[in-house]
Amino acid sequence: MSERPATPTATIIGAWLTSGPAARVLALLNADGEEGRIVGGAVRNALLNLPVGEIDVATTALPEEVVRRARAARIKCVPTGLEHGTVTLVIEGTPIEVTTLREDVETYGRKAKVAFGRDWVRDAERRDFTINGLSLSADGKVHDHVGGLADIEARRVRFIGDPARRIAEDFLRILRFFRIHAAYGQGEPDRAAVEACIAARDGLASLSAERLRMEMLKLVVAKGAADALVAMEDGGLLGRITAGVSYHGPFANMVEAERMLGFAADPIRRLGALTVATPEDAKRLSVRLRLSNAETKRLDSMGHRWWRMREMSDEVARRRIYRLGADRYTERVMLAWARAGQDFSAARWRDLAMLTRRWSAPVFPLKAADFIARGLKEGPALGHVLTLAEDAWLAANFPLDAESVAAIAEQTLERFRHDHRL
């Protein structure tokens, strides 16, 4: 009989584990017959040599006992979800969620009935993906009950247990699968997982816009987002989330443009490249994902006549910067650049996108008082004259010397009086 392959083992050593808030929480919980371990993304990231962000802890101690110990140690304690077994401890300004081990008693979608338990294996088995099902004890030992270590080594994202069952528990896991694969996986996504996601795609309609928004904003900035989005499109999933046409070429180009400019990945800018060709697209996506007013305005601006940003002279570009503001100008240029097709590699696009680093729009030097001093009365005519003067100032390429500004004021006022026979 052949021997079974050895189960992978791992240890983690780091200052974040041996000192600081996480170490204090584990020391608090590892006493009097109870145990605490770090779980989830922090363990995964540490094994992948990625930054450890939020830290979550699981424990055998009941929520009431966690609260009692925290108060005795004078640690700030927030009962963020006692009915679900979750308490948030705040140490040195760092919040750490502590959740009592759970096991499913009955499962019916997201409203699964759970009971508190003491079994680390059963707690791991109710999580979503194997690479998220690892736990880390205070001594640095990684506990793997679901095959997560082998999958981390292979950069493979798999559901724990039956993919169809995991998805039925929460249909958001369809989107989470592609997001986690885009962030941490390599190669083709797991075939069994993809097939289960496609089979369950009707369930996406049951998800709230807020939950879809949260996952999409994370997905589009993941390093493998372009390939993951294509896979979702191929499976008939993406259109059910965006409710419109997706533009994968412009999305990939936007990712590359950000890299060339040295910009951080921006989820709204990338959503614009993926889904927005007109302001109507922005409004549709805003409703589908319930975007904030600020996010919607950005997408609307990007989609507004972006094609006019092609082949601009610097003079015209400066006027656009003045009218739009530096940020909106840059985003609209980048959308036009992403949609440039074969012209994407043209150096002119980078020059246009970087113009705001070389030039800042000056403040319009004329005010209402300048025209009142020239005999114009207050009222609607005054605002009209200011608009005409601003247009003339822009056409003259933003002069700021007193003589040129005065000439613009005089000529604008003369033109206005002539046109209105004043």
The residue ranges of every structural domain in the chain are 10-154, 158-240, 243-361, 368-420
Residue 10: the pLDDT is 82
The confidence score (pLDDT) of residue 60 equals: 96
13 alpha carbon, distance to own chain's centre: 30
pLDDT at 416 over 80: yes
- DSSP H/E element including 36: strand 36-39
Averaged over 155-159, what is the pLDDT? 97
CA distances (Å), 68 to each of 23, 65, 73, 225, in order? 18, 5, 9, 44
Q: Cβ(372)–Cβ(300) under 8 Å?
A: no
Per residue in 181-192, pLDDT (tens digit) is 999 999 999 999
- For the chain, the average pLDDT equals 93
pLDDT band at residue 4 using 50, 70 and 90 as cut-offs: very low
Mean pLDDT of 400-412: 96
Q: Among residues of the chain, what percentage have pLDDT more than 90?
A: 85
Average pLDDT (11-22) is 85
Residue 96 pairs in a beta bridge with: 89
Supply angle C-alpha 179, 196, 107, rounded to 5.
95
Helix-helix angle 267-275:326-338, to 10 degrees: 40
Alpha helices in 304-401 (DSSP H): 314-324, 326-338, 347-353, 355-358, 368-372, 380-395
Task: Read off the tokens for 264.
Answer: 């951080």
Domain at 158-240, CATH class: mainly alpha
**Domain covering 10-154 assigned CATH 3.40.190.10 in the classification:** no
Token pair listed for 347: 């150096």
Cα distance between residue 290 and residue 182, in whole Å? 23
In contact, 153 and 179? CB cutoff 8 Å = no
| Digit-coded pLDDT (tens) for 314-363 | 999 999 999 999 999 999 999 999 999 989 999 999 999 999 999 999 99
Where are the extended beta strands (E) located within 73-227? Answer: 76-81, 86-91, 94-100, 102-106, 113-116, 135-136, 142-143
Mean pLDDT over residues 36-65, rounded?
Answer: 94
Backbone angles phi, psi at 113, to 5 degrees: -85, 125
The pLDDT of residue 3: 39
pLDDT at 111 over 80: no
Contact 138, 26 (CB under 8 A): yes
Identify the pLDDT of residue 104: 66
Does residue 10 sit in helix, strand or coil?
coil
Structure-block tokens of residue 219: 């997905």
Q: Which of 165, 90, 83, 92 is nearest to 127 (CA)?
A: 165
State the DSSP string of 217-235.
HHHTTSTTHHHHHHHHHHT
Q: Give me the count of residues in the chain.
A: 422
Beta bridge partners of 99: 58, 86
